[in-house]
């Protein structure tokens, strides 16, 4: 009957819910749910398998991201974060500001070269940059407070965001650059991608300088809090 909605394909949602509730293999659950939904929608099995295979081939680059999380988790399980903290602690005189500003500049340069996904929050910030920043902030002067540790971790994430966001616009083949070019072209303004990228360069430099100042201010604030805590401890110490 025309106009009648077929609700049977929604059984695939139920398969996902039941499969995850029973803690079954996620890949098996998702594939089974897709087969159930496809068969209930009236798609022949050979066409459905061809559709799954074609979709897998077209999106196989996503496997790189899917493999990142278990690899990073395995490395963390065997002490990656601890080794990163110990390695940074071996550099005498390395402060939080020096470390994060160096990473900010490196991240921007990599993004300008088109290497946008070579780093990221899951790949580098959580397992490496955050514990390294904590170790640099401590600098052999004792552990951070919970509030200080949260601010250092937030700063590590912010450095990643600023470095990538303001660096990728300088890359001439970045999608946003082509989007800007297309927008101006529709309005009768002809711009070359190279000129758009060059105009993004001053913004990237300004972002680097501004955020470097913010990191230095965070360093000074933590140092000032440490001095105040030290004075309070000395005042309250038994005589």
Same domain, 25 and 110: no
Torsion sign, CA atoms 124, 128, 134, 140: negative
Residue 2 lies in a domain: no
Looking at 40, 58, 76, the residue that finishes a domain is 58
Residue 27, C-beta contacts closer than 8 angstroms, at least 6 positions apart:
none
pLDDT of amino acid 232: 60
Residue 145 lies in a domain: yes
pLDDT of amino acid 3: 58
Q: What DSSP character marks residue 127?
A: I
pLDDT of amino acid 171: 84
What string of pLDDT tens digits covers the 239 residues of the chain? 455 778 888 899 999 999 989 988 877 888 899 899 999 988 998 888 888 888 776 766 566 666 666 777 777 778 888 888 888 888 888 899 999 999 999 999 998 888 887 888 888 898 899 999 999 998 877 788 999 999 999 999 999 999 998 988 888 777 777 788 888 888 888 888 888 888 888 999 999 999 999 999 999 999 999 888 766 655 454 44
> Residue 211's domain spans which residues?
64-236
Residue 3 lies in a domain: no
Residue 179 lies in a domain: yes
Q: Evaluate whether 113 touches 174 at the Cβ level (below 8 Å).
A: no
Write the DSSP assignment of 208-233 as a string of letters: HHHHHHHHHHHHHHHHHHHHHHHHHH
Q: What percent helix, strand, coil does the chain show, rounded to 5?
A: 80, 0, 20
Q: Which of 115, 154, 109, 112 is nearest to 133 (CA)?
A: 154
Same domain, 105 and 36: no
Same domain, 28 and 112: no
Same domain, 167 and 216: yes
Could you identify the residue written with the tokens 């919970």? Answer: 146
Write the DSSP assignment of 131-150 as a string of letters: HHHHHHHHTTS-PPPHHHHH
Crossing angle between the packed helical segments 193-236 and 175-186, to the nearest 10 degrees: 130
Same domain, 80 and 44: no
Helix (H, G, I), strand (E, B) or coil at 6: coil
């Amino acid at each position: 009957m025309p106009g009648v909605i077929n609700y049977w394909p929604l059984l695939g949602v139920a398969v996902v819910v039941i499969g995850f509730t029973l803690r079954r293999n996620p890949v098996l659950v998702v594939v089974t749910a897709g087969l159930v939904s496809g068969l209930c929608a009236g798609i022949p099995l050979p066409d459905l398998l061809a559709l799954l295979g074609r979709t897998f081939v077209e999106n196989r680059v996503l496997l790189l991201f899917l493999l990142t999380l278990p690899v990073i988790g395995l490395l963390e399980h065997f002490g990656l974060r601890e080794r990163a903290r110990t390695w940074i602690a071996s550099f005498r005189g390395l402060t939080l500001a020096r470390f994060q500003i160096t990473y900010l500049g490196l991240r921007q340069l990599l993004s300008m070269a088109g290497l946008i996904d070579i780093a990221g929050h899951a790949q580098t910030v959580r397992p490496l940059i955050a514990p390294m920043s904590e170790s640099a902030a401590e600098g052999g002067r004792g552990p951070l407070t919970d509030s200080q540790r949260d601010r250092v971790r937030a700063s590590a994430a912010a450095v990643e965001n600023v470095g990538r966001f303001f660096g990728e616009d300088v890359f001439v083949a970045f999608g946003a650059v082509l989007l800007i070019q297309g927008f101006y072209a529709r309005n009768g303004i002809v711009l070359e991608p190279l000129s758009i990228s060059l105009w993004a360069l001053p913004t990237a430099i300004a972002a680097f300088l501004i955020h470097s100042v913010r990191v230095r201010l965070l360093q000074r604030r933590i140092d000032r809090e440490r001095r105040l805590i030290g004075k309070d401890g000395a005042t309250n110490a038994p005589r």
